[in-house]
Every structure is written in C-alpha cells, then in structure tokens.
Structure 1
Amino acid sequence: MSSRTQRILELLLRSERDLTAAEMAAAVQASSRTVHRELAALEEWLAGQGVELQRKSGSGIRLRADPADLEKLLRTVSASEAIAFSPDERQMYLLCSLLENNEPVKLFALASELNVAVPTVVGDLDELEAWIGRFGIRIIRKRGYGIELEGSEERFRETIRQLTKRRLDDAELTAGGLDPPPHPLDRELFELAGKSEMAAVETVLWSWMDNADVELSEHAYTDLLIRLSIALRRIRSKKKVEIDPAREKEAGRLPDGREEEEALGLVGRLSERAGIDLPRPEIRYMVDLLRRIRQSDEELLQGDDLTLAETVRSLIESMQAATGAEFSQDRSLRDGLFSHLKLAIQRLEEGQRIRNPLLAQIQKNYGGLFRTVREEVNRTLSRLKVPDEEIGFLVMHFGASLEKLKQLQRPVRAIVVCTSGIGSSKMLQSRLQKELPQLEIVDSVSWYEASRLPKESYDLVVSTIELPLNPTQYIKVSPLLSPEEADRLRSFIQGTTLAPERSGDAFKEEPTAVSPDGFAKLQSLKTTLDEIMRLVGRFRAIRLRVRGGGLADVLEEACRREQAAGALTGSPARIVERLLERERHGSQMLPGTSLALFHTRSADIGQSSLSLYILEDPIPMDAEPRSRLSRFLLMLAPQSLTKEGLEVLSEISAMLLDGRMIELLEEGDEAAIRSFMTANLKDYFRSITESE
C-alpha cells in the first residue's frame, strides 16, 4: 500500500460522515482522478478485511463494517504511519498487540501490521521472550495456530505496568487531557494502560483518601492510579482475574483488619463509579494491590536499603576526593541522592528508558562537572550501564550542592589588610563582594591598625601580605582574587572561621526578624527535638535468650518486650510478619557483621521505639547461610509518623555506615551507644537549626 493510499484510508476511517473524492484529493494533494484510481485498488484490499467501500451518488464515500473492525483497522493503519520504528519500539508494539488480542495472532498478520518481513518479527519475538519471562509470561508459537501469550491475568497486568515504565514517564501517562499522543506506540500504551479510565479513578482516589484519612506518597499514589486504571480497562475488555484452583478456598475469603477495611472501601467506591460489578477474585486482586503499595510506601527509613546507602556514601566520598568540595557536609545531598538513585537504579535494572530534556543544557553549562560525575559513577556503579541522561540528573544534585556549599552560614565580618595602595585595596574589596556577598567588609587597614582593633569587632582577616599570626587567624590572597583563591577562601571560612560555631563554642549571629512562617518552623524544630529526646531517652540494650528458636521466634519475643514497654498497641504477630516479609525480600544483615537492622511502620505501633537486642544464643540466617545473627537493632514507628520523626530515624540509620557505631553495637555498651547517638543527633539538629 502506497503512503498516499494509506492516507486516503485513514481519512475514511477517521471521518464520521461521507467524504467526496474532491475533499480527499485536497487532503492528499492529488487530483480527483488519482483518488478514484487509488480507491479502486483499495477496494479489493478492504474486501479481504471484511470492510465495504460504500459509494453514494450525490453524497460521497464511506466505509461500512462492524465498528470494532473499523477501530482495529484504524489502529493497524496508524501503526504503519511514516514513523521510523526502532527495533525496541517495534518489539514493544508487538507486545502491545499480543496483550490486546484474545485469540492467537498469525505471524504474517503481525509482520503486515508493522510493514516488516516475517523473519524480522521472529527475531523480535525471540528478544521479547527473555524480557517478559521476568514477569512469568511465555510466548506460545504453533504452526498453523498462531502466536499468543501464556500467563495469568495478574502477570499480564504487571507486564503492562512495566511496559509503560519502560517507554513513558508516569507524568506523561497521568497528565490531564485525552488527546492521543502522535506516536502510534504511545497511543497503544495509553490505551493498554487505561488512560480513558484515569480521570474517574483519580476522582475516587481523592475522595477515598479524604474520607479514610489515608496518606500516600506521590510515587505510591501515581502507581496505584495507573494500576487500577489498567485493571478496569482489562475488566471492560473481558480479561479478568481468575481463581487459582489451588487457592480457591482462600480466594473466596476476603482478608480482615483495618487496612483491609479501608481497601474494601476504595474498591466499593471504584466499582460504583465505574459501573462494574466486581467479582470476588477482582476485589481480592485490588485489595492485595493496595496492601502491597501501602506497605512499600510505609518503609520506615529513607536509608532502609543499606547497600544503596553504602553506594551513596561511596559516590559522595569519591566526588569529594575528585573535586575537593566538602560534599559530605551536605545532608540534603545524601538524602536527595538516596531518594533519586533508589528509583533510578530500579529503572536501569528493569531496562527502562531514562529521559532528561535538560541533558544538552547540562552538558554545555556544567561540562567539567559532568565528566567528573561520569568517571566516579563508572567506578561506583560499575555493574550498571548508566546513560548520559541519568548522569545529567546526578550532575544537578552535585551542582546544587556546590552552590549551597559556596554560601556562608551567616554574614562574616572581615577586615582587609593591603599595603599596595588604595587602588589594590578597592580592587580586592570589589572582588570579595562579588564572590562572597555575605562577607561584610568592616574596614580596609594597615597591619599596624588591624593589630589594634578589638578582636570581637571582626571574624576574619583577609590580607595580601604575610602576617605574624597563626595560620588559622588569617588568609593571604592576591588583590585580584582569582577564582581558585575565592574557592580557597570559602573553604577557609567554612572550615576554620565558622568551625567553632559548628563545635558549639559560639553563636554570634544577631537575632533576625521572624518571618510569617517562623512559628511553624519553630514547631517543626520542637517536634524534631522531642523525637530525638524520646528515642535516645528510651533506648535500651536488652539481652535476649530464645533457646532453639529461629528468627521468627527471636522477633516474636522482642516484639512482646516492646508491647510490654508500651510501644505496641496491637498484635505482636502482625509486626513479626511485617519484619519477616522484609527479610524475605532482602537480608537486613549489615555486610561483614553479625548485626542486623529490623524496622517497620504499622497502625499496631503506638509510639516510636529503638532498642538493641543482644542474643545470648546467636542464630543462623536463611538469607546469609554463612552468617550468624548475634544482635540486632529494632526500630518501630507508628503508621502516622511525622516527617520530623522519619528524618530522625533516617539519621540514626545513616549512623550504621559509621565504623565507630558498628563497634559500639557489637560491644553492646548501652551508655556508649546513647552517647554516640546523642552527639550525632546534636550535630543534625544544629544543622537544621542553621538552615532555618
């Protein structure tokens, strides 16, 4: 089929009325005679598709067939538009076609749909098979029968979700508006993902969250929105979850508990809004879906993945060594990198596409930093192939930290000592004010005059000559203050002039006017301090003896102790199950030690708790066959944990990357551990106080 014939066919498929040959001729920029000739050739092809080309005298031309067949034909034509499909795009489109069809599809039909040779489709299917196998899906190919996918409906829905992640940003998929995207593959993905259902699903989610007082992170909310939309669209297409005969008795019984009641409330609202009477297997599927998403969203610690936390620490240290910037002092950089890399590494491992519309601008404006980040990421994340788009995002994190580190914590009063004349002094003052706007020039004097000024009247001496002073009391620069000298001066101020303040020796900053939101900030600081005092004050090192028991027995006894101490308001058994579930997903052991960190959030926990349990009889760990668990840190927190509480616990988890903290935990000295945590949390509290 020629491109002109294809355009004529699409005009007819998209039109809701009869079209004249003259109208089509104008649209494809050809004569009416040419259009009639193309239609004659097209008519025979359409007949083979079960579509009639209907001509009405005085009215025009239209296509006549079952609406579903016309819709399918339109998708086929759209997929064959003059857009160059990459091999990856072609494979994704093939998978979309197989997921959409209820019956086996002929190999020739797939090749025709994409306008490629049959051997090309065979090769594409071979490559697809490995990727979809990760989700429990198989491609069945039988001569004379066709090609179809084999797997459960739950796995098909998971494959669709991963397929959308591989191609689209969630923001693209969930953005308002129903206009189809220009690329045929994106249109297929929008349809498979239930784009037409999303507005209704979102309305239900908003209402449910308000009424049930449920909080979800943006990531969890978006994931739930997309997965529920996929489910509704599949249900409308008669593709439903079926009961596994092996679990038939269990599937007929819905779970109980408060969280399950909330989930059933959501499913009920969704069923009513969509006008669908959901069968029990679908209700159970949606309840389980919400439970998994909420459980993932309620991870207690931002730094809960100790392997990733170690990766972040290594990257920061290597960047610090490469650039000389004190990145390790920037807590927001550490937290930002952890949050970003947790999702980025997952996307890279799943083969998802990384998009960065700012890449070219980042490479142009931050070329040197980009090259440094690339080199250090190649060393730190050598097991992954990290594309330039992801490096660009990391450059933004480190670039923002560099700008932050350049800013002084408060105005610093300086006197300038310069003996080369007034011109040199003025030049140096001008350069200082440009490079360090928070540097307040008290005066420009000779050394003789400077030595007689009261020391409390200035913080720093900037000199163009050597002075008979301790090197920590002044810094020597040239009158022109080169960029290198400006960076050295910033480091000197941060590391020397302001160091006593960070050690608690002095607070010289004058009181400032309270901003309109100052009281809210004070409340936040108080909440943080209260959380620190509660956790550190209640910390205990507890000896535990559970003879002949395994991990479940040990955790059950520990949770009973926490219940007796007033930390738990519900069943210890449910907390134990949550802790074991995390261990099944990945070992909580600290690499190279006999220590572990177990933590969770739950509605069954009344108040945050932090305890070290010392086992008198170490136990083997299933996830680490050669390791024996001798002690573990148990962190528990309520489901409704405040932002400040979460940040404090994250700070404590970060301490586990400190060798001294590991030593103290292995020694089990309660007072020494409390003292170490107090010192670190005191520094943390001071840092957020200064940032306010």
Structure 2
Amino acid sequence: MGAKKDREQRLLLLLTKRHDYVTSEELAEHLETSQKTIYRLIKKINETSGGGLIQSEKGRGYKLNYEKYIGQTTIQPSQRSQYSPQERRNRVMEELLLSSPQTKNVYNLFEEYYVGESVIFSDEQLIAEHLQQYDLKLERKQRTLAILGKEANIRRAIADLIQMHNIIEIDELKNNAELNFNHFDVLFILDQIKLIEKELEMTIPYPYNINIFSHLYILIRRLRKVQHLSNNELSPLSEKEQERLEQDQALYQVAKAAIANVENYLHNRLPEAEVYYLYQYLTSSRMQGSLSKVTKFSTRVVELTNKYLAGMSERLNISIKGDSIFLDLGNHIKPMINRLEHGIHVKNSLLDQIKMTYEMIFLYVTEVSAEISQEFSLPKINEDENGFITLYFARIIETNQLPIRTVIMCTTGVGTSELLRVKIEKKFPELEIVDVIATRDAQRFTEKYPGIDLILTTINVSDTISVPSLLVSAMFTRDDQNRLQKKIEAIYDER
C-alpha cells in the first residue's frame, strides 16, 4: 500500500473509532502529519467516494458517515484504465512466479503497460530486490526474464501477491470480481474445503480457510502454467516428513483425498510432497469441532500459552487465568507454532484496525512475542500473528471489563455526597465507589487508595492530582450523567 493510501486508511480507521466530531488538530497529531495534509486527505477521500463520506462542521471538526462507510464499494481494478507502478510490477512478478522456471519475453510482459526501456530496467531492479526476501533470483538472458528458486519459496511469494486477504467470508470468493479468479477453479476448491470439513467433522474458520484456499488455488495455477513442477522440493518425502504425516492419520487421509481430486481435475499426476504441503496447512489451522482433537497440548504449547498469560497479566496489571481462557488461547498457539516452523504466513485482514483500536494491547503482545521467540528458539512472530493474539486479550478485557475504581470528593465528604454516591451506584454499576472523601483529604487519598481510575467531585480538583476527574453537581443532573457516560467510555478506550 502506498504512503498516501496508507494515510487515508489510517484516517478512516481513526474516525471509525470516534462517535463524535474530531478536530483537524487532533487528527494531525494522531497521524503525525500537518493539518494541511489532513485537509487534503479528507478532500481526496470525499472525491473518490462520491462525497459526504467524511462530514464537517465548523468549530467541531470532522465525523465519519458510518453507514456510507460500511456500504461503500471500492473501485475494481478492472474498471481502471491505468495501473500504478506498484500494481504493474506486481502483475509482472506474478506472471513470472506462476511460470517459474520458464522464461518470459520482456516485451510480452510489459507491452500492455506502454512503458519505455528505462522504466522496464527500473522495474527489474525493484522486482529483484523484492524477491530476495524469499531467496528467489530474477534472471535475465538477452530479452527474457525468469524467476529461479525453490518451489516452497515461489509459492510463498505468490501467496503474498494474491490480494485475497480482505476476504473474510470464504463464499465471497465465488463472485468477487476484484480477484479476477477462474470461477470454475474457485467452485472446485470450495468443494474440497467443504469435503475436508465434512470428513473431519470440523469447521475451518477464517482466516485458515482462506489460507488453504490460497494454497490450492496457487497449486492449480502453477500446474496450468508449467505442467510439471520443479524437483527442488518435490522429491520423495524424507523419512522424517513421512513420520510427520503419520502423526495424524485423519488429516493425512483428507489431504491425500483432496490432492487426488486436484489430480483428476487437472488430469495431472502430483508427487507425494503435495500431500505433505496440504497436510502442513491443515495442521497449521485452528479448527472448530471435536474438543478431543483440539485440546491435547504438548508441553511446549502449555509453556508458551502460560508465558503469554503471565506476560500480559503483568503488563495489563490484571489477573488473566482460568481453564476457558487457557484452552482458547492454547488452541490458537498450537497451530501457530506449526505455522512459524514451516514458514506458513496467515494474513490478518483486520491488522490495521486491531493496531488502531487496541494499540496498547498490541504493543504488549508484540513485546511478549519477542521474548517467547527468543526463549523458545522460534522464528520471529510477525505482526499478523500478533494481531490475532491481541484479539484474544482484547476479548478478555471487553467481556470481563474491570470496574472503574472511583472516589467521590465533596466539601465535607458527608450528607449530599452520600446521596450522590447512591445515585451514581444505581445509574453506573461499572463504577466501584471505593470511598467518599472530603476536599481536605484530597492530597492523601492517592496513598490510601492506589490505582484509582476516576475522581467525581463537586468542586475543582487541584492540578497536582494526576488522577482523571469529572466535575459534577451534587444533584447529579441528566447533563452530569451524559458527561460521566462519555468519561467512562474514554477510560475503557484507553484501557
């Protein structure tokens, strides 16, 4: 995603979090840019969306028209007359990857983009640099180009190029014109996933079903392009790999049946390694169904899960424990370890929103993941994985939201303050009123009650007290109640 598009997306995500108007100054501060840039971004977004997506009101700022945001449709690539330089390079790279190791004529690759020799040369350099992260090489011979490398690396590069990770409902793949997929291939692969689920008596949820779909789709496209695959990684299975296949006979048999169906579909024989690849995707997927198959944890899984729970409990300053929490997170950690060890990357389509909405939780998860990678000698746990784990802890906080520890402060601490206490406890059960104090005790209460989240006071609080406060009347009017509700929401958002 380009820098401008990235800023536009971040701006929209920020506005989705707010239910009221946000000033340009605040938007500029959050996006670390200037107010002029904010004005330009909003103008551009409204122009491309047909107007009215971001509403403005003088003196109040900007607000998202949420209904329009949810219902808006994106411009399909097929509707555009031109491709951006990045899109051009991606399309050329995809064609070369699918055809690897076959060579392709340079003129044929670039003729539809109407670019000159200098642009082609520049694209080649950038494509070659991009491929290095996959241990792949772009080779040029006279007027031809080819990508060389191991089959597993080629497929990993193709998977990262195919933009299907904004799809959440797998059935959307049937009619999504943006993906430009072969309709018959899509239906065939969806049938294979349904058969796998039926045989296992389980459901493969998002994003794992999308990942398996991507793997099979790439396999079919590769076979159509090259008819046979490189022997670099498709040689007979080693004894160790064969042992792994035998570890779960149910997964092995469904993987074998699915690959046999692909062979019949394409009238092309495939090596046993293809069964092993699909088997690895299945063992790297979380499945919902028989608890007897998903709650058997190795010692390593138990240790990693406990490490996450302990690390996040310490950072969030709350106690996170219980069998249901442990099982839920453990069932994610178990296939995650397999993904890390076999280089299987699951895209997280909600990553930007997760990072924006649960910023601190994501940061803490990233820290714990770094410690775990080092302690357990695992490959680096990437942002997509950290995003998935963040949701588990966000859900724990959302569903088990800790009460807001509150002190009520009045001039005397008695009389009207007790009446205020009764009214607040009745209207706002999420507040834990730990004490009602007099103004003269204001400087000492922080020592007596550490960890106070909010002060409700009938008089102005001294600037020396760092605890958030809200000034209310002793009668606790409707306006006071509305302001307190907004204050509670702000405290929960910060958590």
TM-score (norm 2): 0.50
Match of 2:186 among 188, 193, 198: 198
- Partner of 1:436, secondary structure, is coil
Match of 2:94 among 90, 96, 99: 96
Matches within 5 A, 1:350-369: 356=350, 359=353
Correspondence 1:210 to 2:198: yes
- Deviation at 1:134? 4.7
- Partner of 1:327, secondary structure, is coil
Alignment partners' CA distance in 2, 1:294 and 1:150: 28
Which residue identity lines up with residue 95 of structure 1 in the other structure?
M
Matches within 5 A, 1:31-70: none
Correspondence 1:300 to 2:297: yes
Matches within 5 A, 1:190-589: 191=181, 196-211=184-199, 213=201, 218-241=206-229, 247=235, 258-259=249-250, 260-271=252-263, 274=265, 276-279=266-269, 282-297=270-285, 300=297, 304=301, 314=311, 317=314, 319-320=315-316, 326-329=317-320, 339=332, 356=350, 359=353, 370=359, 401-404=396-399, 406-407=401-402, 423-437=416-430, 462-464=435-437, 480=458, 484=467
- Deviation at 1:160? 1.9
Contact 1:327–1:401 (8 Å) recurs in 2: no
Cα distance change, pair 172–294 in 1 and its aligned pair in 2 (3 A): closer
Cα distance change, pair 206–177 in 1 and its aligned pair in 2 (3 A): closer
> Which deviates more, 240-249 or 116-125?
240-249
Aligned match of 1:175: 172
Alignment partners' CA distance in 2, 1:374 and 1:434: 32
Contact 2:348–2:385 (8 Å) recurs in 1: yes
- Deviation at 1:147? 0.8
- Partner of 2:88, secondary structure, is helix
- Deviation at 1:283? 5.0
Question: Which has the larger Rg?
Answer: 1
- Deviation at 1:95? 0.7
Aligned match of 1:19: none
Q: Which has the higher contact order (CA 8 A, sep 6+)?
A: 2
Cα distance change, pair 284–248 in 1 and its aligned pair in 2 (3 A): closer
- Deviation at 1:267? 3.3
- Partner of 1:304, secondary structure, is helix
Alignment partners' CA distance in 2, 1:353 and 1:268: 27
Question: How many pairs align?
Answer: 347
Which residue identity lines up with residue 163 of structure 1 in the other structure?
L
Which residue identity lines up with residue 264 of structure 1 in the other structure?
K
- Deviation at 1:479? 6.1
- Deviation at 1:91? 2.7
Alignment partners' CA distance in 1, 2:131 and 2:436: 67
Cα distance change, pair 436–148 in 1 and its aligned pair in 2 (3 A): same
Alignment partners' CA distance in 1, 2:234 and 2:275: 20
Alignment partners' CA distance in 1, 2:125 and 2:336: 31
Deviations 1:527-562 (A, max 9, x none): xxxxxxxxxxxxxxxxxxxxxxxxxxxxxxxxxxxx
Aligned match of 1:160: 158
Contact 2:138–2:148 (8 Å) recurs in 1: yes
Alignment partners' CA distance in 2, 1:237 and 1:351: 24
Structure 2 unaligned regions, length at least 5: 1-76, 286-293, 372-379, 442-447, 471-495
Structure 1 unaligned regions, length at least 5: 1-77, 321-325, 410-415, 440-459, 488-692
Aligned match of 1:123: 122
Alignment partners' CA distance in 1, 2:191 and 2:218: 16
- Deviation at 1:206? 2.0
Cα distance change, pair 220–130 in 1 and its aligned pair in 2 (3 A): same
Aligned match of 2:6: none
Contact 1:98–1:105 (8 Å) recurs in 2: yes
- Deviation at 1:432? 2.7
> Which deviates more, 206-215 or 392-401?
392-401
Aligned match of 2:475: none
Aligned-pair identity in percent equals 12
- Partner of 2:174, secondary structure, is coil
Cα distance change, pair 220–286 in 1 and its aligned pair in 2 (3 A): farther
- Deviation at 1:203? 1.8
Alignment partners' CA distance in 1, 2:237 and 2:325: 50
Which residue identity lines up with residue 418 of structure 2 in the other structure?
S
Alignment partners' CA distance in 2, 1:486 and 1:95: 57
Alignment partners' CA distance in 2, 1:209 and 1:382: 34
Alignment partners' CA distance in 1, 2:191 and 2:366: 44
Contact 1:462–1:477 (8 Å) recurs in 2: no
- Partner of 2:138, secondary structure, is strand
- Partner of 1:171, secondary structure, is coil
Contact 1:174–1:198 (8 Å) recurs in 2: no
Which residue identity lines up with residue 116 of structure 1 in the other structure?
V
Deviations 1:560-581 (A, max 9, x none): xxxxxxxxxxxxxxxxxxxxxx
Alignment partners' CA distance in 2, 1:378 and 1:246: 35
Contact 1:139–1:149 (8 Å) recurs in 2: yes
- Deviation at 1:94? 1.7
Cα distance change, pair 134–380 in 1 and its aligned pair in 2 (3 A): same
Alignment partners' CA distance in 1, 2:78 and 2:119: 16
Which residue identity lines up with residue 165 of structure 2 in the other structure?
L
RMSD: 5.8
Contact 2:150–2:232 (8 Å) recurs in 1: no
Which residue identity lines up with residue 94 of structure 1 in the other structure?
V
Alignment partners' CA distance in 1, 2:133 and 2:304: 23
Alignment partners' CA distance in 1, 2:177 and 2:411: 68
- Partner of 2:139, secondary structure, is strand
Alignment partners' CA distance in 1, 2:310 and 2:170: 34
Alignment partners' CA distance in 2, 1:330 and 1:300: 17
Deviations 1:286-318 (A, max 9, x none): 32123222343478359739679757755653x
Contact 2:137–2:147 (8 Å) recurs in 1: yes
TM-score (norm 1): 0.38
Deviations 1:105-139 (A, max 9, x none): 33344343333333333333333334434545322
